[in-house]
């Protein structure tokens, strides 16, 4: 038989090979088995680099030149396998993205052990592929991936910004504890005052007119002389002793500069997200369908904005993490992906619903929770749902979670039907599901 040609089994059919790949930052570990679950190559490693990827291709070609002979799989674990997945996919290999939860359950059922190492992991991935007991993970398109990158970076900046806020407030608790009750420290006016007068001690000898001069070039400010006078009284009677005045002022101004920088970055990312949502998002690779796909995408985004209480941030969070919602055949599948199914204990005729599952997408869950808070203020239908659940004895958190599930169901319906928010129609469709 010529070198690299696919082998035939005893029935004369071409042999298939199942390739399990355990990914990591620096290198990947591979196990290859045949349909009889026999290892046909000694397990090996290859570098997470172009040379490593080419070496991997050569190793596979020793078994067969026919790429259809292979089924390859790797876990969807962070970013370590992204480049490898794209490389194998673009080179025509049948590559599967596996849910780590699936492989973990399979490993435990197969061995009744929780043993874990690279060689074992790649072998059980190969066995899982051979048994065909998996559902392929979702690979986001270029547009959804771009949105995800931007949104996650925004979330990271927002998280850092909140940490800096805590540190600023911690200093203010000593240097001017009365300030926070007088004005929002993170408003334009609050930050303007803190940068000029970082502590209560810095107001000594300052006049109300001097304070007002700070706001002359700030558009739309309403800082009055009465406020300035009140602020001076608070500073004069502050409990701050003045200890480490200079050093605390330096620390506070340093933190304010960091906070403002993060706010600038968040604003920049928001503009990029808005631009992406309103331009080429969800476009098709098929050149003849790009225009239609773009129009549909723009229409969907516009219709999602018709839900009272739902912001661009909520929409971008959902689409960036979930991708194309039409990939979920049912709302139940989407709820499961997000992790909005509660844990359940059944005993006799009672069903006790506990906390939400820890699995799922925490980013989307958090975004929906915050959106639900907004919706009970601005959306009459969801506000009624919330009030009804509270009247029925549900806690505030439980009621908000119920609103969150209803909200994502509404979003799913609008996405699926590409129609604006219509309470009577949307809620009717929800009841049908």
Would the CA dihedral through 321, 277, 279, 300 be positive or negative?
A: positive
3-state helix, strand, coil in the chain (%, to 5): 60, 10, 30
Residue 319 has which token pair? 């689409």
Ranges for all domains in the chain classified under CATH 1.10.287.4070 = 146-273
Which pLDDT value is given to residue 286? 43
The secondary structure of 305-370, three-state, reads CCCCCCCHHHHHHHHHHHCCHHHCCCHHHHHHHHCCCEEEEEECCEEEEEEECCCCCHHHHHHHHH
Would the CA dihedral through 133, 88, 83, 140 be positive or negative?
A: negative
Rounded distance between C-alpha atoms, residue 94 and residue 86, angstroms: 11
Q: How far is CA 205 from CA 202, 208, 209, 236, 382, in A?
A: 8, 10, 12, 10, 54
Strand 39-47 relative to strand 27-33, pairing:
antiparallel
Which pLDDT value is given to residue 11? 44
As its CATH architecture, domain 146-273 has Orthogonal Bundle (1.10)
* Contact (CB, 8 A) for 383 and 377: yes
Which pLDDT value is given to residue 324? 82
Rounded distance between C-alpha atoms, residue 196 and residue 120, angstroms: 61
Rg (C-alpha) for the chain, rounded Å, is: 29
Ranges for all domains in the chain classified under CATH 3.30.420.40 = 17-131
Which H or E run contains 416? helix 396-417
Selection from 216, 208, 256, 212 nearest residue 236 by Cα: 208
Half-sphere exposure of 321 (CA within 13 A, CB side): 24
8-state DSSP, 8 = B
Which pLDDT value is given to residue 112? 42
Q: How far is CA 37 from CA 61, 131, 277, 364, in A?
A: 19, 10, 47, 39
Residue holding tokens 């986001």? 140
Residue 410 has which token pair? 């509404």
Residue 59 has which token pair? 């190793």
Residue 356 has which token pair? 């939400």
Residue-wise pLDDT for 308-352, tens only, equals: 999 988 888 888 888 888 888 888 888 888 888 654 444 444 434
Angle at CA of residue 400, ends 399 and 406, nearest 5°: 95
Q: How far is CA 315 from CA 53, 268, 283, 405, 409, in A?
A: 37, 18, 17, 15, 13
* Contact (CB, 8 A) for 73 and 93: no
Count of C-beta atoms within a 10 Å radius of residue 401: 22
Superfamily of domain 17-131: ATPase, nucleotide binding domain (3.30.420.40)
Rounded distance between C-alpha atoms, residue 367 and residue 420, angstroms: 21
Query: For the CA atoms of 241, 246, 247, 253, what is the dihedral angle to 10 degrees?
Result: 110
Region for residue 338 given its phi and psi (left: phi exceeds 0; alpha: psi -120 to 50; beta: otherwise): alpha
* Contact (CB, 8 A) for 416 and 432: no
Rounded distance between C-alpha atoms, residue 91 and residue 182, angstroms: 63
Which H or E run contains 146? helix 142-175
Per-residue pLDDT of the chain (433 residues; tens, 9 = 90+): 333 555 555 444 568 999 999 999 999 999 999 998 899 989 999 999 999 999 999 999 999 999 999 999 998 777 888 899 999 999 999 999 887 767 777 776 666 444 444 578 898 899 989 988 766 666 667 777 788 888 889 989 999 999 999 999 999 999 999 999 999 999 999 999 999 999 999 999 999 999 999 988 887 778 899 999 999 999 999 999 999 999 999 999 999 999 999 999 999 999 998 888 776 544 444 444 446 656 777 788 888 999 999 998 888 888 888 888 888 888 888 888 888 865 444 444 443 444 556 667 888 888 999 999 999 999 999 999 999 999 999 999 999 999 999 999 999 999 888 889 988 776 665 555 4
């Amino acid at each position: 038989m010529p070198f690299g040609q696919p082998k035939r089994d005893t029935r004369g059919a071409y042999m298939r090979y199942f390739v399990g790949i355990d990914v990591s930052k620096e290198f990947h570990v591979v196990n290859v088995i045949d349909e009889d679950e026999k290892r046909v190559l000694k397990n090996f490693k290859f570098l997470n680099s172009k040379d490593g990827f080419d070496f991997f291709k050569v190793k596979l070609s020793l078994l067969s030149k026919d790429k259809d002979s292979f089924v390859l799989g790797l876990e969807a674990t962070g970013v370590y396998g992204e480049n490898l997945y794209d490389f194998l996919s673009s080179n025509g290999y049948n590559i599967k993205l596996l849910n780590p939860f699936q492989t973990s359950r399979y490993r435990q059922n197969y061995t009744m052990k929780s043993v874990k190492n690279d060689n074992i992991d790649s072998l059980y991935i190969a066995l899982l592929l051979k048994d065909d007991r998996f559902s392929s993970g979702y690979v986001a398109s270029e547009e959804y991936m771009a949105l995800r990158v931007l949104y996650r970076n925004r979330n990271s900046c927002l998280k850092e910004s909140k940490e800096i806020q805590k540190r600023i407030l911690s200093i203010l608790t000593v240097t001017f504890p009365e300030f926070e009750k007088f004005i929002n420290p993170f408003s334009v006016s609050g930050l303007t005052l803190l940068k000029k007068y970082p502590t209560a001690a810095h107001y000594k000898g300052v006049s109300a007119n001097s304070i007002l001069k700070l706001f002359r070039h700030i558009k739309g400010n309403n800082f009055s002389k009465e406020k300035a006078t009140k602020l001076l009284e608070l500073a004069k009677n502050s409990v701050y002793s003045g200890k480490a005045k200079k050093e605390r002022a330096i620390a506070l101004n340093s933190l304010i500069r960091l906070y403002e920088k993060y706010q600038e970055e968040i604003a920049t990312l928001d503009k990029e997200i808005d631009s992406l949502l309103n331009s080429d998002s969800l476009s098709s690779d098929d050149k003849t369908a790009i225009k239609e796909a773009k129009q549909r995408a723009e229409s969907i985004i516009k219709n999602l904005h018709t839900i009272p209480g739902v912001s661009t941030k909520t929409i971008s969070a959902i689409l960036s993490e979930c991708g194309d919602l039409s990939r979920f055949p049912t709302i139940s599948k989407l709820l499961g992906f997000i992790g909005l199914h509660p844990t359940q204990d059944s005993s006799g005729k009672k069903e006790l619903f506990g906390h939400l599952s820890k699995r799922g997408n925490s980013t989307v869950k958090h975004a929906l929770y915050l959106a639900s808070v907004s919706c009970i203020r601005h959306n009459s239908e969801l506000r009624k749902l919330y009030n009804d659940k509270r009247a029925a004895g549900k806690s505030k958190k439980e009621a908000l979670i119920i609103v969150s599930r209803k909200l994502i169901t509404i979003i799913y319906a609008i996405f699926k039907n590409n129609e604006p928010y219509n309470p009577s129609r949307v809620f009717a469709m929800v009841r049908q599901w």
